[in-house]
């Protein structure tokens, strides 16, 4: 059912018309009409939509001509016309807060359960000749563990737009001290804040880091990469083992 939102304000009453598609081979269609009253003293009706209280819900079966007449009358007497989804959405979103507060905090591996997959931009790794084979190893081992690799287009169409990031920091010296090379891993997703679901940020739903083991003479960057990949592969398998 498609919804046509018309919220004219007659005093403190908002009228919402929901238009259903016409029934097959019939000249009439169903229209859902809802009326809501706003709090007394609301100076800005658009800011009070989340406080509107339903006072009437009806279904009308009318012809297209009757519908056009009805909508024309409603638009004529309306004080505010053309309210968009964007005008309504923030209030609808904020109404979710009490329910979100009731949700338990998820276990560490819960975000990996039935995960839709990640987009892995390996251009930085592939551009470094010292890291040849890194990205191919990541894709091969994690695919074997069950993690799906998405195209950029698929990622954009996936809720949360999940990405996998692998970063390499070279070994360096500072004030005579050796700072080992390190490889960090993160699966990042967009999220909204419970206290205000209109605010969106990005967070790591899984992360790990491995460093050069100076106690092992021939511990290479590939060895560090393998450690990190094995951690993610093991966690992914554990999360989806049941």
- The strand pair at 196-211 and 172-174 is best described as unpaired
Residue 130 tokens read as 């010292």
d(Cα 113, Cα 242) in Å, to the nearest integer? 9
How far are the Cα atoms of 140, 220, 224 from residue 216, in angstroms, in the given order? 26, 9, 12
d(Cα 16, Cα 8) in Å, to the nearest integer? 8
Overall pTM surpassing 0.75 (yes/no):
no
Tokens 């979100």 correspond to 100
d(Cα 207, Cα 235) in Å, to the nearest integer? 11
The backbone region for 49, taken as left when phi is positive above 0, alpha when psi lies in -120 to 50, beta otherwise, is alpha
d(Cα 113, Cα 172) in Å, to the nearest integer? 38
- pLDDT one digit per residue (tens) for the chain, 242 residues: 333 334 433 333 334 444 444 444 458 999 998 888 888 888 888 878 777 888 999 999 999 899 899 989 988 988 888 877 766 665 667 778 888 889 999 999 999 999 999 999 999 889 988 888 999 999 999 999 999 999 999 999 999 999 999 998 876 666 667 667 788 999 999 999 988 888 899 999 999 998 877 677 777 888 889 999 999 999 999 999 97
d(Cα 85, Cα 59) in Å, to the nearest integer? 22
3-class state of residue 54 by DSSP: strand
């Amino acid at each position: 059912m498609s919804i046509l939102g018309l919220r004219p304000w007659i005093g403190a009453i908002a009228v919402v018309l929901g238009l259903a598609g016409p029934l097959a081979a019939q000249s009439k269609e169903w229209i859902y009409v809802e009326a809501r009253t706003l709090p007394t003293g609301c100076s800005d009706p658009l800011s009070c939509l989340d406080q509107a209280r339903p006072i009437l819900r009806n279904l009308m079966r009318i012809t297209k001509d009757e519908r056009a007449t009805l909508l024309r009358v409603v638009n004529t007497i309306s004080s505010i016309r053309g309210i968009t989804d964007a005008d309504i959405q923030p209030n609808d979103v904020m109404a979710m807060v009490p329910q979100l507060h009731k949700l338990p905090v998820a276990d560490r591996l819960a975000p990996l359960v039935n995960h839709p997959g990640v987009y892995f931009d390996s251009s930085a790794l592939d551009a470094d000749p010292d890291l040849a084979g890194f990205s191919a190893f990541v894709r091969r081992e994690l695919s074997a563990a069950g993690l799906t690799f998405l195209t950029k287009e698929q990622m954009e169409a996936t809720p949360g737009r999940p990405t996998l990031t692998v970063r390499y920091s070279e070994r360096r010296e500072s004030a005579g001290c050796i700072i080992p090379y390190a490889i960090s891993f993160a699966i990042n997703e967009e999220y909204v804040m419970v206290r205000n679901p209109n605010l969106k940020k990005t967070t790591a739903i899984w992360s790990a880091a491995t460093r050069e083991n100076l106690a092992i003479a021939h511990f290479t960057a590939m060895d560090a990469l393998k450690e990190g990949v094995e951690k993610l592969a093991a966690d992914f398998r554990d999360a989806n083992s049941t």
